[in-house]
Chain A
Amino acid sequence: MQPVKNDSNHIQDSDISKIVFIPDSVMYVLKNTCFDCHSNNTIYPWYSNVQPVGWLMARHIRKGREELNFSEFGSYSTRRQLSKLNGITNSINDDIMPLSSYKLMHKNSILSTYEKEMLIKWVQQASDSLSVKK
Chain B
Amino acid sequence: MRILIFGLAIVATTLVVSKNTNKSPESLNLSISDQSISKTENANFMTSLVTDEENTGSIKEIVSAYLQMKNAFTEDNSTGAATAGKKLEAAFKNFDKSALTTDQKKTYEDVEADAREHAEHIGANGGNIAHQREHFEFLSKDIYDLIKTFGGGQVLYRDFDPMVNKGKGAYWISETKEIKNPYMGKAMLTSGTAKEEIK
The CA of A83 and the CA of B113, in the complex, are separated in Å by 11
B114's partner among A83, A90, A94 (CB-CB below 8 A) is A83
Taking the complex as formed, is B159 at the interface, i.e. its CB lies under 8 A from any CB of chain A?
A: no
Q: For B134, list chain A residues within 8 Å (CB).
A: 86-87, 90
Taking the complex as formed, is B118 at the interface, i.e. its CB lies under 8 A from any CB of chain A?
A: yes
With contacts A86-B134, A90-B134 taken as known, whether A79 is within 8 angstroms of B110 at the C-beta atoms is yes
Taking the complex as formed, is B89 at the interface, i.e. its CB lies under 8 A from any CB of chain A?
A: no
Q: For B142, list chain A residues within 8 Å (CB).
A: 79
Taking the complex as formed, is A80 at the interface, i.e. its CB lies under 8 A from any CB of chain B?
A: yes
Distance in Å: Cβ of A117 to nearest Cβ of chain B: 14
Distance in Å: Cβ of B78 to nearest Cβ of chain A: 15
Interface digits, B124-147 against A, CB 8 Å rule (1 contact, 0 not)?
A: 000000110010011000100000
Distance in Å: Cβ of B198 to nearest Cβ of chain A: 19
Interface digits, A1-16 against B, CB 8 Å rule (1 contact, 0 not)?
A: 0000000000000000
Taking the complex as formed, is A113 at the interface, i.e. its CB lies under 8 A from any CB of chain B?
A: no
Taking the complex as formed, is A77 at the interface, i.e. its CB lies under 8 A from any CB of chain B?
A: yes
- Kindly state the interface size class of chain B when it binds its partner: 10 to 19
Distance in Å: Cβ of A23 to nearest Cβ of chain B: 23
**Contact across chains for A80 and B113 when beta carbons are under 8 A apart:** yes
**Contact across chains for A83 and B117 when beta carbons are under 8 A apart:** yes
The CA of A83 and the CA of B131, in the complex, are separated in Å by 13
Q: For A87, list chain B residues within 8 Å (CB).
A: 134
Q: For B110, list chain A residues within 8 Å (CB).
A: 77, 79
Q: For A83, list chain B residues within 8 Å (CB).
A: 114, 117-118, 138
The CA of A72 and the CA of B113, in the complex, are separated in Å by 15
**Contact across chains for A77 and B131 when beta carbons are under 8 A apart:** no
Q: For B137, list chain A residues within 8 Å (CB).
A: 86
Taking the complex as formed, is B90 at the interface, i.e. its CB lies under 8 A from any CB of chain A?
A: no
Distance in Å: Cβ of B97 to nearest Cβ of chain A: 17
**Which among B118, B130, B138 has the highest number of chain A CB atoms within 10 Å?**
B138
Distance in Å: Cβ of A66 to nearest Cβ of chain B: 10
Chain A residues numbered 51-105 whose CB sits less than 8 Å from any CB in chain B: 77, 79-80, 82-83, 86-87, 90, 94
Distance in Å: Cβ of A31 to nearest Cβ of chain B: 25
The CA of A86 and the CA of B165, in the complex, are separated in Å by 12
A77's partner among B113, B118, B130 (CB-CB below 8 A) is B113
A86's partner among B113, B130, B138 (CB-CB below 8 A) is B138
The CA of A77 and the CA of B114, in the complex, are separated in Å by 8
Q: For B194, list chain A residues within 8 Å (CB).
A: none
Given contacts A83-B114, A83-B117, 5 further A-B contacts (CB under 8 A): A77-B113, A79-B113, A80-B113, A80-B117, A83-B138
Nearest first, the 3 A-B pairs at minimum CB distance are A80-B114, A79-B114, A90-B134
Using CB atoms and an 8 Å cutoff, list the residues of chain A in contact with chain B: 77, 79-80, 82-83, 86-87, 90, 94
